[in-house]
Structures are given as structure tokens and as C-alpha cells.
Chain A
Amino acid sequence: MIITVASGKGGTGKTTVAVNLALALAADSASAGPLFLDCDVEEPNAALFLQPVIEESKEVGQLIPQVNPDKCTYCGRCAEVCQYHAIAVVGKKVLVFPELCHGCGSCTLNCPTGAISEVLDVMGTIERGWAGPVEFAQGTMNVGEAMAVPIIKQLKQWTIPSATGDRPVILDAPPGTACPVVETMRGADFVLLVTEPTPFGLHDLRLTVEVARDELELPVGVVINRDGVGDQGVEEYCAAEGIPILMRIPLDRQIAEAYSEGVPLVKAQPAYRQKFRALYEMIQRQVEGGKQ
């Protein structure tokens, strides 16, 4: 069971929900311990709450062209087929711009003399380990890099087994609705949308529903965080769209203070353990109900 926790708007509580869901399920000895992936590779924060022990890490990136000058005839075919202007032939010189390259390999395929080989351009790191009974993995993009998607993709490939069965796999998504979010949602069984009941929260929730439910055709449910602040817009929207509200976390200064210190909610207020388990059961029912 793969659950992606997303939100559109930043700071609504994605990491709080994802981390506490994992911790609540880890305490339940009936099932295998959950696997947790922090896919917000631009600003990964879950480790601050889960305090994992990292056991393995590797550098990731994408393959960029390297031209062998002995074989190159400077015909310019590579530059012609590159859609990203990442390779240019200037006189008797071939210039490669790694920050523009998408690692598609089209230049290699099209080079008539086989002068191009590919080398790894490092864009970040992926790591895995354990936070007690929670298996943990995260990706971190290097500062100055632009593209998060290759890192997220490789993090998922490295850690998520082809058949997860009943084991909960929880993915903490980045904010926004663009390609890194799509990559984090792809392949999920359920997308849990964390929002706050404000006009900003609602506006971005709508956009995220468009991505998850309408474009990717995944079942979705909502968690309202900071319930009690703002207005009724999110409630009305969910009712009109038939989107289930699966959990509410009230606006509570104590919760915010615990968060600010990196203390997970289920540790600060143990009653939430049961609430997050109930959330998981509701998600299971939603997914099973959708299959029938």
C-alpha cells in the first residue's frame, strides 16, 4: 500500500502527517514496519523528526554526454537532436551544459561515429536506514541544482520493492503541483492531501486534486490541519466534490510548539497514535472500496 502525502501549499503539515502516520503504524506489531520516503529533496525535513540512523548512501544524478575527440567529426548532429540546447558544436569544440541536460541519451543514439559516451553528473544524494521500526529513506538535492525529478525517481526505484503487499509505504511530497509532485504521486495507491482551512489552503488543494485525481486518476482524501482557523471553504469544497475528510488536527499552540522542537505529535500527545491508525484504516477502506 503506497500512500503519497501531498498538499500544494507549503507548510500545511505534510511532514507532520506523514511522519506520525509512519510512527503510529510502526507501533502496531500486527503488520510489517512501514517504509518512509522523504521525497521533498529540495528541503528534506522528515529526518529532523524521525532521527534515522543512515546505513547506506549513494550519489545520484543523471547521465550526461562525454565526447571522445578522437572519434568526433564535429558534424553537429548531437546539437541538432538535443531539445534542451545542452550540447553545442563550436568549430572544433563540443560544449556540454550539464545544467540544461535532461539525460535523455538522444545525442548518444544519434551520433554517427559513436563518439559519445555518458558519465554521471551528480545532482544529489539518496540515503537509507532505520528510524527504530520505520525503514527510512531520503533524497537531498545539491544546492544550485535545478531538477529534483531525477533524484526522486532514483530514490523510489532504489527503495520501493516491486510488490509492497500490505506493507505501508509512505511518501512525503514536496509542495507545489509541478513535475516533482507528479513524480512523487506516480505509482501511489492513495494520495492524502493535507490542507489548512484558509483561502490559500483551499486554492492550492483544488490544484492538487486536479493533479492527483483528475490527471493521475488516483483516489484522494483530505486531512484538515489547524482546524478551527480560517473559514468553511475547504469543507464546502470537499462536500461538493465528494472528497472524504479523513482526519482533523485542531489549531493548537502546543502542537505547533512540539513541531518547532522536532517532537513528533504521537510522542507529544500519545492519543494521536490511535487517531493516525484510524486514519490508515480509513485509507485502506477507501482503496478497497475503489477497487470493487
Chain B
Amino acid sequence: MKQMKQLVVLSGKGGTGKTTITAALAHLASQEFPIVLADADVDAANLELVLNPVKQEEHDFMGGQVAIIEPEGCTACGICDAVCRFDAVHPPREPFEYAYKVDPLACEGCAACYYQCPEQVIRMEEQHAGRWFRSDTRFGPLFHAHLFAGQENSGKLVTLVKQQGRLQAIDTEAKLLLVDGPPGIGCPVISASAGADLALLVVEPTVSGVHDLERILATTEHFGVPALVTINKADLNPTRADEIAAFCVEREIEVVGRIPYNTVVTEAMVQGEPVTAYANAAGPVVAALVGLWEQVKANLR
């Protein structure tokens, strides 16, 4: 690989093994060339649990704004409540309250109330919505983040984490930016896939897995990102695995490896190790992951 490539690991359905596979790929890839890692699941970031990162930098993430009503000056006219389409403004709960109040979790920061308040006692305040980190791991630098509970703007934080990872990769002439994606097909997934050279879709052989593969594949196609599929826990239901493989042939998507089900994967996770680096894991799972990495690498070229 001459230029730096960006690989994103996605799944649609959650819990199919994105992080397990990302950690294994990080271990295998870093033995061949320098890489940078980014955890784009900022709601529930798990890559750090298997990479034992040592934090080097920590930054605040300022998310969207929320409206705040100054109780002094509020005449309880109720216009703010009337214009809010997010049910975020609540009337005073008498007898103890006399001013309207904004529920910060429901507020989307649109400022409609701010502009309509005749007393001008509403202000908009930026929210401290999360934190992001640059850490060192034995496989390379990791950029990760934590979005505070219930916050919006996860897409914005994903973009920030990835940008930082990308800059570091360019600066250090790393060959690969490996991104662990979030589940679903919505805003954080769109942000995680933006600019990717290749998406690796991790699917499990279940009715849900098959259904969700179609939707995540439609999403990567919609945004023009080429995709590969790997079937995790493939032997749990070989018929469904074959169905997925047939579906991929029809859609001209390459299936790069079938990873067997084995509790050694969980054992490695409990030990905080990528399964490929876990001493007791030699066997079919590791062999499948090594094969997977070779095929992914060939597709990145």
C-alpha cells in the first residue's frame, strides 16, 4: 500500500462481532506496517477494553446547544412551550415554580423559543457533550471518545475522532486507518463511513443478520463505499451462512472468511486481549481471522 487507506468495520445489527474483529485486524495489521485506530462507536466504545490504551491526550467535546430560561423575568406566558416542537419546554409546576423550564435531554437546540420569547429571558448555551482521547496502544495510536449519556450529535463526535485519526495517520505515514464502526444505519454510521476506501461488514447467520445486512449494504452503496462481507459464528447456522453467501454472490460482494463460533472469543475478551493475540486461542478462529486479514489487505491495494 502506497497511500494511507481507510477501512471501516460495520454491521447494521449490533453485537455481531465488529469490535472483536477490529481488534484482531489491529493486531495482525500492525505486525506488517504502522496503523492508526479510531473507535467510531462513541455511544458505547468498546475497543479500549481489548487494547489497554494509555491516554496521552484528553479533550472536551462541545456538542449542540440547549435553551435555558432565566426564571427571573419569565412571565410564564407560555409562548416558548407553544413554539417548541420537541416537547422540551414545560410549564411551571405550581406552587413551587413560577417559570417555564427546558428539559435539556429533549431540547434540540433549535432556538425557536429563544427568538420568540417576548421577554428575551432565554439564552442558548453550548453543551459539554462528551470527551475524546488520543491514546497509545501496542498496535498504534487509538482515537476514541465518550459521548455523555443521552446526548445528540454523535455523528459530529464520530467525525471529529476520525479526522484526528486521519491527521495522525498522514503525519506519521501510517498505512491504514482502521475504524471500528457503530451499529445501525443512521447518522453515526454515515459519519463513520464517510471517506472510507473499504467497508468490512460483519454479519451473523441469523434471520436478523440477513435482514440487517441488506440494509447496511444499501447504506454503503448509497454512499459509494465498496464493501466486503465476513460471516461471524458461521457454523451456528450453516444454512443461513450459505444463504448470506448466495446473496453476496448475487450482489457481487466478496465474502472474505467464515469465522466459526467458539467461546475462546469471549475468554480473550475477558482477558482484555484481541483473540489473535490470546495465547489459548490457536485454532480455527485465529486461522479464519488470519485468512480474513489477508483478503482484506488484498482488497485495500
Binding site for B on A (CB under 8 A): 8-12, 15, 42-43, 45, 48-49, 81, 83-84, 102-106, 109-110, 141, 143-148, 174-182, 186, 198-200, 203-204, 207, 210-211, 214-216, 229-231, 253, 256-257, 259-262
Contacts and interface: CB of A to CB of B under 8 A. Distances in A.
Contacts of A231: 270
Residue among B14, B46, B190, B212 with most chain A CB within 10 A? B14
B15 A179 contact: no
B56 interface: no
Interface string B64-86: 11000000000000000001011
Given A84-B110, A143-B222, 8 more contacts: A43-B211, A81-B111, A106-B112, A141-B185, A177-B150, A199-B269, A215-B105, A216-B105
B207 to A, nearest CB: 4
Interface string B5-32: 0000001111110010000000000000
B46 A104 contact: no
Contact of B206 (A146, A148, A259): A259
Given A11-B13, A178-B150, A200 B185 contact: no
Contacts of B215: 42-43, 143
A260 B263 contact: no
Contacts of B260: none
25 contacts: A8-B43, A10-B16, A11-B204, A42-B184, A45-B211, A102-B110, A104-B108, A104-B112, A106-B110, A141-B185, A147-B186, A174-B183, A175-B184, A176-B43, A177-B150, A178-B154, A181-B43, A182-B105, A200-B46, A200-B49, A200-B269, A229-B263, A256-B236, A260-B204, A260-B205
A255 to B, nearest CB: 11
B197 interface: no
Interface in B200-246: 204-209, 211-212, 215, 218-219, 222-223, 236-237, 240
A9 B44 contact: yes
Given A45-B208, A231-B270, A200 B19 contact: yes
A9 B47 CA distance: 12
4 interchain residue pairs of minimum CB distance: A10-B14, A11-B15, A104-B110, A146-B187
B149 A211 contact: yes
Contact of A199 (B149, B189, B204, B270): B270
B149 A207 contact: yes
B145 to A, nearest CB: 12
A15 B83 CA distance: 36
Interface residues of B, number: 64
Contact of A105 (B85, B204, B219): B85
A10 B130 CA distance: 21
Given A102-B110, A109-B116, A207-B43, A45 B212 contact: yes
B44 A176 contact: yes
A180 B43 CA distance: 11
Contacts of B140: none
A15 B211 CA distance: 14
Interface in B144-164: 147, 149-152, 154-155
Q: Secondary structure of the A side of the interface?
A: loop
Contact of A230 (B150, B188, B266): B266
Contact of B86 (A8, A104, A143, A178): A104
Nearest to B45: A203
A148 to B, nearest CB: 5
Nearest to B218: A143
B272 interface: yes
Contacts of A182: 105, 150
A125 B218 CA distance: 17
B278 to A, nearest CB: 14
Contacts of B209: 260
Contacts of B247: none
Contacts of A253: 236
Most chain A beta-carbon neighbours within 10 Å: one of B64, B149, B218, B240? B149
A67 to B, nearest CB: 18
A143 B207 CA distance: 19
Contact of B44 (A43, A203, A261): A203
B260 to A, nearest CB: 13
A10 B17 CA distance: 10
Contacts of A178: 43, 147, 150-152, 154, 188
B33 interface: no
A48 B115 contact: no
A211 B151 CA distance: 10
B159 to A, nearest CB: 12
